[in-house]
C-alpha cells in the first residue's frame, strides 16, 4: 500500500516492482541531509561538466547564434556610446549604434523577435565582457538552474528520490545539453518556464492566497515567451492551470471577485514583459532613435502572418519528432521516462493541483508539435 494525501490505495504489482528498482538505484538515507545534499551537488556537477566542458573553445556554430549575439552586442555597444556621450565613460566605444544597426539591417524581420533572449545575452555581456562565449555562458547557467529547479519541483511534488532521478535525467539529456551549449534561445526559455512552474507550484502547495504572489510566476513565463515566440501557448496554459486550481480549491477562494482578480493579476503579469518591450520600442521611435516606419516588437509579428496563416491542425510532424527524440535521447531513456511518468502519476491524487500541473507541463511540451504543422 502507499498513501497519497492520506488516501490509501492498493499498489499494483508492476508499480511495486518499479518502486523497488527505484529504491535499489537510489538507496539513500532520506533523513541524512548531508548525504542528500552531496547527491544533489554530484548531479549538478555532472550537468555542469557536460554543459561547460570546452565551452570557451566551442565558438559560434550557426548563423542564428551569431545574429542573436550581434543584437545583444549592439545593445551593449550602444549603451556604452550613450554613457560616453554624457561623460560617464571617458572613451566612447566606436561601434555600430542601434540606429545605424537598424538602418544597416534594412530587411524584415528587423530583429530575431526574441528580445527576452537578447536581454539574457546582454546580461552575459555585462557579466563576462563583450566576448562570444558570454552568450554560451548564459545558456550553461540557464541549463544548470533548470536542472536544479527540476530537482526542487520533482521533490516537492513526488518526493526526494523522484526529484533526484528527474534532475539526473535532465542532466544527461542530449537534447538539453545541446541547447545549453549554444547561443540559441531554448535553454533560457525552458529555464524561465520551469522557474514559473516552480513558483506557481510553491504558491498552491503552501496555500498562499495573496494575490500579488502570482506576479513572479507570471513574469517568468511572460519573459519566456519573449525569448521565443513558439512559446506563445505556454502563458495560455498557465492561465488554464490557474483557473483549474481555483476550481479544485474553491474552498480556499470562496469569493468570486477574488477568483477573477487572481486571473487578472496572472494575465497582466504574463503580458507585462512583452508590453514593456513594446513600450520601450515605441519610446525610441518617439525619440527618433528608431525610424518612423520601423515596426516595434509586436509590430514585427505581422511579418510572420504568412507563416501563422500556413499553420494547420495535422499530425504530419509526429513521425519527425518521434524519430528525432529516438535518435537524440535514445529508446532506453524514453522508455524509462515513460515508466517514471506512469509511477509518479499513479502516486498523485486525482483532482489535485499537482496532477493538473504535471499533466499541463506534459501536454504543453508534446501537444503543439504533435497537432500543428506548416502547410506545404
Distance of alpha carbon 201 from alpha carbon 208, whole angstroms: 10
Residue 26 C-alpha cell reads as 537510489
Distance of alpha carbon 36 from alpha carbon 145, whole angstroms: 18
State phi, psi for 291 to the nearest 5 degrees.
-60, 155
Q: Which domain-ending residue is among 255, 274, 299?
A: 299
Structure pTM? Answer: 0.84
Cα–chain center distance at 332: 25
Residue 129 C-alpha cell reads as 565582457
Distance of alpha carbon 17 from alpha carbon 49, whole angstroms: 33
Distance of alpha carbon 359 from alpha carbon 349, whole angstroms: 13
Q: CA nearest 182: which of 322, 328, 67?
A: 67
Question: Is 345 inside a domain boundary?
Answer: no
Question: Is 368 inside a domain boundary?
Answer: no
One domain, residues 206 and 164? no
Extended beta strands in the chain, E state: 2-4, 7-9, 311-313, 372-374
Question: Is 332 inside a domain boundary?
Answer: no
Cα–chain center distance at 60: 22
One domain, residues 223 and 199? yes
Q: CB of 118 within 8 A of CB of 71?
A: yes
Q: Which domain-ending residue is among 251, 284, 299?
A: 299
Per-residue pLDDT of the chain (376 residues; tens, 9 = 90+): 333 333 443 444 444 444 544 554 455 455 577 888 899 999 999 999 999 999 988 888 888 888 888 888 877 877 777 677 666 766 555 445 555 655 655 443 456 688 999 999 999 999 998 888 899 999 999 999 999 999 999 999 888 888 999 999 999 999 999 999 999 999 999 999 999 999 999 999 888 889 899 999 999 999 999 999 889 889 999 999 999 999 888 888 878 888 999 999 999 999 999 999 999 888 877 877 677 777 788 888 777 777 777 888 888 888 888 888 888 888 888 888 888 788 777 777 776 788 888 888 888 888 887 887 777 6
One domain, residues 166 and 202? no
One domain, residues 240 and 267? yes
Question: Is 232 inside a domain boundary?
Answer: yes
Helix (H, G, I), strand (E, B) or coil at 193: helix
One domain, residues 48 and 111? yes
| Number of domains into which the chain is organized | 2
One domain, residues 129 and 226? no
Question: Is 4 inside a domain boundary?
Answer: no
The half-sphere exposure of 270 on its side-chain side, counting CA atoms within 13 A, is 23
Q: Which domain-ending residue is among 299, 322, 356?
A: 299
Domain of residue 161: give its range.
32-184
Question: DSSP labels for 213-237?
Answer: GGHHHHHHHHHHHHH-GGGTHHHHH
State phi, psi for 312 to the nearest 5 degrees.
-145, 155
One domain, residues 147 and 291? no
One domain, residues 99 and 218? no
Question: Is 367 inside a domain boundary?
Answer: no
One domain, residues 70 and 148? yes
One domain, residues 232 and 141? no
- For 80, residues 6+ apart whose C-beta sits below 8 A from its C-beta are 89, 92, 93, 95
CB-based burial of residue 228 (10 Å sphere; 0-12 exposed, 13-18 middle, 19+ buried)? buried
Amino acid at each position: 500500500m502507499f498513501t497519497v494525501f492520506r488516501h490509501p490505495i492498493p499498489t499494483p504489482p508492476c508499480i511495486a516492482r518499479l518502486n523497488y528498482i527505484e529504491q535499489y538505484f537510489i538507496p539513500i538515507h532520506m533523513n541524512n541531509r548531508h548525504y542528500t545534499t552531496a547527491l544533489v551537488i554530484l548531479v549538478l556537477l555532472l550537468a555542469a561538466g557536460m554543459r561547460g566542458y570546452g565551452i570557451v573553445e566551442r565558438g559560434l556554430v550557426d548563423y542564428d547564434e551569431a545574429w542573436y549575439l550581434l543584437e545583444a552586442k549592439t545593445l551593449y555597444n550602444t549603451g556604452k556610446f550613450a554613457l560616453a556621450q554624457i561623460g560617464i565613460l571617458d572613451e566612447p566605444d566606436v561601434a555600430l549604434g542601434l540606429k545605424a544597426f537598424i538602418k544597416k539591417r534594412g530587411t524584415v524581420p528587423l530583429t530575431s523577435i526574441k528580445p527576452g533572449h537578447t536581454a539574457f545575452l546582454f546580461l552575459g555581456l555585462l557579466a563576462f565582457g563583450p566576448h562570444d562565449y558570454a552568450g554560451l555562458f548564459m545558456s550553461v547557467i540557464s541549463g544548470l538552474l533548470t536542472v536544479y529547479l527540476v530537482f526542487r519541483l520533482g521533490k516537492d511534488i513526488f518526493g526526494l528520490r523522484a526529484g533526484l532521478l528527474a534532475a539526473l535525467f535532465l542532466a544527461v539529456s542530449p537534447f538539453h545539453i545541446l541547447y545549453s551549449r549554444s547561443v540559441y534561445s531554448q535553454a533560457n526559455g525552458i529555464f524561465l518556464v520551469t522557474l514559473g512552474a516552480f513558483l506557481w507550484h510553491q504558491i498552491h502547495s503552501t496555500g498562499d492566497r495573496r494575490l500579488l504572489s502570482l506576479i513572479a510566476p507570471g513574469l517568468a513565463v511572460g519573459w519566456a515567451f519573449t525569448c521565443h515566440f513558439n512559446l506563445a501557448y505556454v502563458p495560455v496554459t498557465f492561465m488554464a492551470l490557474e483557473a483549474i486550481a481555483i476550481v479544485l480549491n474553491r474552498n480556499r477562494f470562496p469569493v468570486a471577485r477574488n477568483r477573477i482578480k487572481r486571473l487578472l493579476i496572472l494575465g497582466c503579469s504574463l503580458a507585462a514583459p512583452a508590453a514593456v518591450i513594446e513600450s520601450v520600442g515605441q519610446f525610441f521611435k518617439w525619440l527618433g532613435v528608431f525610424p518612423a516606419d520601423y515596426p516595434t516588437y509586436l509590430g514585427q509579428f505581422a511579418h510572420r502572418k504568412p507563416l501563422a496563416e500556413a499553420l494547420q491542425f495535422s499530425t504530419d510532424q509526429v513521425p519527425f519528432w518521434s524519430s528525432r527524440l529516438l535518435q537524440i535521447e535514445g529508446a532506453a531513456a524514453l522508455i524509462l521516462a515513460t515508466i517514471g511518468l506512469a509511477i509518479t502519476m499513479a502516486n498523485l491524487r486525482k483532482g489535485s493541483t499537482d496532477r493538473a500541473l504535471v499533466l499541463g507541463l506534459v501536454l504543453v511540451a508534446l501537444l503543439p508539435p504533435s497537432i500543428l504543422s506548416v502547410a506545404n
